[in-house]
Amino acid sequence: MARREAAFAQNAAKQCPIRQAFPALPKNAQNAVRRWFGMFHDPGKRYISQSITPVKENYLKVLLELSKGEAVRSSDVAASLDVTKASVSAMMKRFSEDGYITMEKYGAITLTKKGRVHAAAVKKRYNLLIAFFVSVLGVDPETAAADACQIEHCISAESLCKMEERLKCVSS
């Protein structure tokens, strides 16, 4: 039995870089180290942040697309993201607390200026990535859209600038 536990611990240590760096720490301390590195480790300016997760960015992008200057219903957001109305309601409560939206009880959702700015930035990254994949790399538009949706949350500002420059060269 001890042999099996030792093999399990050794395999777990191989998979987790925190366990490799701090093998003697208990699991809760390893999680604290993970959180610490998450807060302070910045390998260049990236768009991913602690307060806005990729899921939240997707919600903001959908809200911007659906709103077009008007209020949005939570059922429309749920249908667009293929999630439940309860999930949308929980996220809208968080957005309201964070100042990204204003929401009437059981009513319309409206992006605030802060929400519109952040959503527009996400949408711009998304559109730039799609254009780059299709125009420069020759990727199928459907595949480009799926890839852009994943990459838009973690790409660096430097990479985006280089992509934009390359797009300008290609379109000229």
Q: How do residues 117-168 score in pLDDT, each as one tens digit?
A: 999 999 999 999 999 999 999 999 999 999 999 999 888 889 999 999 998 8
Residues 6+ apart with CB under 8 A from 122: 57, 60, 61, 64, 152, 153
Q: How many domains does the chain have?
A: 1
> Is residue 17 in a domain?
no
> Is residue 12 in a domain?
no
pLDDT for 26: 52
> What distance in Å separates the CA atoms of residue 96 and residue 92, rounded to the nearest whole number?
6
Q: Which long-range contacts (CB under 8 A, 24 or more apart) does 91-98 make?
A: 91/55, 91/56, 91/59, 94/56, 95/56, 95/59, 95/60, 98/51
Give the N- to C-terminal CA distance of the chain in Å, as an integer. Answer: 68
Tell which wins on pLDDT, 129 or 32. 129
Angle at 108 between CA 103 and CA 112, to 5 degrees: 50
> Is residue 101 in a domain?
yes
- Evaluate if pTM is beyond 0.75: no
Contact 115, 134 (CB under 8 A): no
Whichever domain contains 149, its CATH number is 1.10.10.10
pLDDT for 70: 84
Range of the domain at 60: 23-172
Angle at 168 between CA 166 and CA 172, to 5 degrees: 120
> Is residue 45 in a domain?
yes
> Is residue 3 in a domain?
no
Highest mean pLDDT among 17-26, 36-45, 46-55, 154-163: 154-163
pLDDT for 41: 39
Max intra-chain CA distance, the chain: 68
Burial class (CB in 10 A: 0-12, 13-18, 19+), 172: exposed
> Is residue 8 in a domain?
no
Tell which wins on pLDDT, 34 or 118. 118
> What distance in Å separates the CA atoms of residue 17 and residue 63, rounded to the nearest whole number?
37
pLDDT for 29: 53
> Is residue 73 in a domain?
yes
Whether the pLDDT of residue 6 is over 80: the answer is: no
> What distance in Å separates the CA atoms of residue 71 and residue 108, rounded to the nearest whole number?
5
| Gyration radius of the chain over CA positions | 21
pLDDT for 170: 81
Kindly state the percentage of the chain with pLDDT values over 70: 70
> Is residue 145 in a domain?
yes
pLDDT for 49: 45
